[in-house]
Amino acid sequence: MPTPNEELVVGLVSISDRASGGVYEDKGIPALSDWLAAALATPYRLETRLIADERAQIEATLTELVDRRRCHLVLTTGGTGPARRDVTPEATLAVGTKEMPGFGEQMRQISLRFVPTAILSRQVAVIRETADHAALIMNLPGQPKSIKETLEGLKDADGNVVAGGIFAAVPYCVDLIGGPYIETNPAVCAAWRPKNAQRPQPAKE
């Protein structure tokens, strides 16, 4: 069940050798931050990390964000392709206690509407559980446009949903692992919960 009145803590991890080395400016964390600012109606706090494509460092960062910083949700960007240095999925699976394959499957379905090389993407999602805490960790694409599309979903010119975004399922997932109740801006992303898990809306004055 969701934990009442607990502060929502979201970890953002951008994984890039060149960005972490100062070769170019990181675009992953700003893209994630901007999207969350538009999508979340619940107050939250961010923990951000910019690190290299090193498996040990990725594992240590994810573990620290969940176990010590008490993040309820961790979003990573970068390092999910087939290149030799792309090890984000391996690191994520190593720190997880439950795999959540539906998130990666849906991300690839969204991306396949644009490029056939979406099948090369290896994004995964896991739950990491400790004795008294749990978090959802999700790998996202590296490009800001793709980040928005996978989180938010796709609509046609008339505003009809043609591919559901993955974030619609995140609030209920966080409920189920004991995190805070997350509310979203429905104009950006409508969170979905079964009726028995929905909180009543406050009465309008």
- Both tokens of residue 73? 């949700």
pLDDT in tens, 110-153: 999 999 999 999 999 999 999 999 999 999 998 999 999 999 99
In order of their start, the domains of the chain are: 8-197 (3.40.980.10)
pTM confidence score: 0.94
Say if residue 205's pLDDT is above 90. no
